[in-house]
Homo-oligomer: A and B are copies of this chain.
Amino acid sequence: MAEVKSDIEIARAAKKKPIQEIGAKIGIPPEHLLPYGHDKAKVSAEFIAEARKRPDGKLILVTAINPTPAGEGKTTTTVGLGDGLNRIGKKAIVCIREASLGPCFGMKGGAAGGGYAQVVPMEDINLHFTGDFHAITSAHNLLSALIDNHIYWGNELGIDTRRITWRRVMDMNDRALRQIVTSLGGVANGFPREAGFDITVASEVMAILCLATDLRDLQKRLGDIIIGYRRDKSPVFARDLKADGAMAVLLKDALQPNLVQTLENNPAFVHGGPFANIAHGCNSVMATTTALKLADYVVTEAGFGADLGAEKFFDIKCRKAGLKPAAAVIVATVRALKMNGGVKKEDLGIENVAALEAGCANLGRHIENVKQFGVPAIVAINHFHTDTPAEIEAVKRYVAAQGEEAVVCRHWALGSAGTEELAHKVVELAESRASQFAPLYRDDMPLFEKIDTIVKRIYRGSGAIADKSVRAQLKQWEEQGYGHLPVCMAKTQYSFSTDPNLRGAPVDHAVPVREVRLSAGAGFVVAICGEIMTMPGLPRVPAAQSIFLNEQGYIEGLS
């Protein structure tokens, strides 16, 4: 049996091409690539503006069933499909999200794919990369500093220090910073108040960067940020603190998409990475819209399962950016479906067609949901070596019964050779022009009704429920002119319901909206259903403890 190599070993052995060659493949001249090392580059704003005139390629969304501890491989499949499309002669670009530094030192590995479906340089992508997240951290914290500084010097704007909603951020898992008291130590340090840090990916600045269409739009959105309220509850904007200009300056380069390559030397944009719970969880609009001008096919992903990720991709990103996805790939694994059917993690290696068939209900629901948006769907069975022929047949049979098709993919082990069939099917689907994409709800629907619509039509719950105070808050925002915004659902990714243990395809559950938040700069209203963790902690034995430089100076312990 062949030796199984680790992701980092495979990535390190990659024969990378100079990034200028990758750019040339999609028509970006070297002078419009701002290099970061020899294997990463940002695409110039001028080139992007110039390319706007061109026609768009076809946009393919990769989404998934509800995540389980078994793993689904959404990023891996996105990369594998991109390589597969290139293999069958289509010009394809992959668009994925950047990795957060914090989790890298905690529990999970990186976000660059896996096996023979990875983007490289994986170490860089999982560490500082081109500095985008650092720029976001700086811009966010500059605004935070300006707020306390404004109060220190007399608080001319009359900010109510109890009602400051703008926190600070750090790209680190640091639970000690979740809730703090600042400005202690006397007069010179300001007015003590309760405050806290979120992880950088949870910053509204991150969501803004991912939704902005150009620098001007970015600066406008930054100015629109609400940092808190006065005693009379009127909002105070970042613009009132004159913070938007300096924030935009800090984000000038970060706004430009990052070009890297897959292990097969195909182009990939890795840009932006907002939290998939309190934000929309998709890579940047700048990257996706630019890629569409440069390729026949753009393969992108959305965070978590299709109930959260695809819904927000369609209702927030596509709506705002005017994108029209041509097809969607729903990723499932036999193991994850078995978990959805009630199998414990330790028993996943044992064939269990009955449990698998039960778990397929989860997949079926996601297929239905994606089709509700008018987007044709296909299922990718991301193959694992313990899968049995009977199990794979069972999934195919189930999906066929839904009127759709399931294709086995072996990109993890084989790279593009393992996604050739999927690539052909995706092209067929996209070329059929069957997509009739439309968002789920209209802009002019009242905010609570938007939430209720998602609960009923996507989660198949009995409806959204909320306290009077939550409804009153929504009403107030409607009066202030924010009623046209889409809603960004924050809910457990593990279930259609708000109970993470309720797998499969539950119905008729009530979905309680605990809290609502306004991201006026990003342009959505967050509906929080359950607990939201915006600053993770580190585990008992953090991954950081086993990350080091080996004798050759190579990084060990990243994955």
Contacts and interface: CB of A to CB of B under 8 A. Distances in A.
A169 to B, nearest CB: 10
A433 to B, nearest CB: 38
Nearest to A36: B36
A245 interface: yes
Contacts of A364: none
Nearest to A138: B101
B146 A544 contact: yes
Contacts of A500: none
Contact of A145 (B149, B172, B185, B241): B172
A174 B141 contact: yes
Contact of A128 (B131, B170, B190, B242): B131
Given A38-B35, A152-B537, A145 B174 contact: yes
Interface stretch (A249-257, A271-279, A514-522): A249-257
B548 A172 contact: no
Contacts of A175: 148-149, 152, 183, 188-190
B548 A246 contact: yes
A537 B149 contact: yes
Nearest to A104: B246
Contact of A246 (B105, B144, B174, B215): B105
A204 to B, nearest CB: 18
A548 B153 CA distance: 22
Copies of this chain held together in the complex? 2
Contact of A215 (B101, B189, B249, B553): B553
Contacts of A185: 178-179
A557 B145 CA distance: 19
A13 interface: no
A77 interface: no
Contact of A544 (B36, B142, B219): B142
A72 interface: no
A2 interface: no
Interface string A148-176: 11001100000000000000101111111
B172 A182 contact: no
A46 to B, nearest CB: 9
A127 B131 CA distance: 12
Nearest to A547: B246
A501 interface: no
B171 A249 contact: no
A51 B502 CA distance: 63
A127 B250 contact: yes
B184 A149 contact: no
A225 interface: no
A253 B128 contact: yes
A34 interface: yes
A544 to B, nearest CB: 4
A551 to B, nearest CB: 9
Contact of A252 (B105, B149, B253, B549): B549
A364 to B, nearest CB: 37
B174 A184 contact: no
Given A105-B142, A175-B190, A190-B175, A249 B548 contact: yes
A128 to B, nearest CB: 5
A141 B544 CA distance: 12
B38 A37 contact: no
Given A141-B174, A171-B138, A549 B249 contact: yes
Interface string A386-423: 00000000000000000000000000000000000000
A549 B38 CA distance: 29
Given A34-B38, A36-B36, A179-B184, 10 more contacts: A35-B36, A45-B553, A128-B135, A146-B538, A149-B174, A149-B537, A181-B181, A219-B548, A249-B547, A249-B558
22 contacts: A35-B36, A35-B38, A36-B36, A36-B37, A105-B246, A128-B135, A141-B172, A141-B174, A142-B544, A144-B174, A145-B173, A145-B176, A146-B542, A148-B175, A170-B170, A176-B189, A180-B180, A242-B545, A245-B544, A245-B548, A246-B557, A252-B549
